[in-house]
Chains A and B, each alone.
Chain A
Amino acid sequence: MHTQIVMDPNGDTRHEFDPDDAVSCARAEEHFGQLTAEGFRAVALGRNGQPGRVLRYFEPSVRETLFIPQLEGG
């Protein structure tokens, strides 16, 4: 199972999907689209803390995608 991790006031919320299941992937892609439309930045997390990669489009092969709310200056 692959995971979408969404940062939120509870710490995070996780949504799992099966990359080999078309329905599960379609649901995950829809979720990806909703979050990025809301301004979340999607990043494919690197292994062992290594730098991640920004995702412009849903990639079912990515094991862990982190969704970060839009940044603002403090």
Chain B
Amino acid sequence: MEGLLRLFFRSMLLDPAHERSMQLLRANLTPCQLRQFETCSYFDVVGGTTGHIYRIHRGEARNIDEQDDAGAWIYTWCFLPMGRLAEGDVLLAQKVALESFELEARAVGVRTSKPSPPSSIFFNFGRTSRP
């Protein structure tokens, strides 16, 4: 456990590439995105072509959610730049791609549907079955 913690701190806090990539990311977020990122560990971007809203979470895979017109999170996307890049670079590449060449990013990305919320039939059944 101690070894894992040491590895975590070394990789997340003391790795120069990680630090440098996070600086580059922070320098290229809007004030609103930066506030979101610092407080919630994610930030929202607007797709440059579709106008859809995407939420980019920290992490390097399957970390992008897409919202539908009604505001529901419907898909999770996975695409990232080739090569072993640090986390900040991956997040910035995802942001820039969605804002500046969204359709190309969607063309290479892997999309999965997010689990649907419980159906209204289930809720109606639950409500009507109680006395």
Question: Would you give the shortest CB distance from B95 to chain A, in whole angstroms?
Answer: 8
In the complex formed, the residue of A with least CB distance to B62 is: A74
**Interface SS of chain B: helix, strand, loop or mixed?**
helix
Binds B, one of A19-27, A29-37, A64-72: A64-72
Encode B80-107 as 1/0 by CB contact (under 8 A) with A: 1111111011001100110111001100
Interface contact B24-A11, CB-CB below 8 Å = yes
The CA-CA distance from A54 to B101 in the complex, in Å, is 7
Residues B86 and A5 in contact, CB atoms below 8 Å apart: no
Q: How far is the CA of A54 from the CA of B95 in the complex (A)?
A: 13
A32 to B113, CA, bound (A): 38
Number of A residues contacting the other chain (C-beta, 8 Å)? 26
A70 to B17, CA, bound (A): 19
Q: Are B30 and A11 in contact, with the CB atoms below 8 A?
A: no
Cα-based distance from A39 to B85 in the complex (angstroms): 15
Contact of A51 among B16, B80, B100, B105 (CB under 8 A): B100
**With contacts defined as CB atoms under 8 Å apart, how many contacts are there between chain A and chain B in the complex?**
101
In angstroms, Cα B76 to Cα A74, docked, is 11
Which residues 17-63 of A sit at the B interface, judged by CB distance below 8 A? 39, 41, 43, 45, 48-54
B41 within 8 A of A: no
Of the residues B17, B27, B96, contact of A11 by C-beta under 8 Å: B17
Using A5-B24, A71-B108, A72-B79 as known contacts, say yes or no to A52 and B100 having CB atoms under 8 A apart: yes
10 contacts between A and B (CB under 8 A): A7-B21, A7-B93, A10-B20, A49-B27, A49-B30, A66-B92, A68-B93, A72-B79, A73-B79, A74-B62
- Residues on A facing B (Cβ under 8 Å): 5, 7-12, 39, 41, 43, 45, 48-54, 66, 68-74
Interface residues of B, Cβ cutoff 8 Å to A: 16-21, 23-24, 27-31, 33-34, 48, 61-62, 78-86, 88-89, 92-93, 96-97, 99-101, 104-105, 108-110
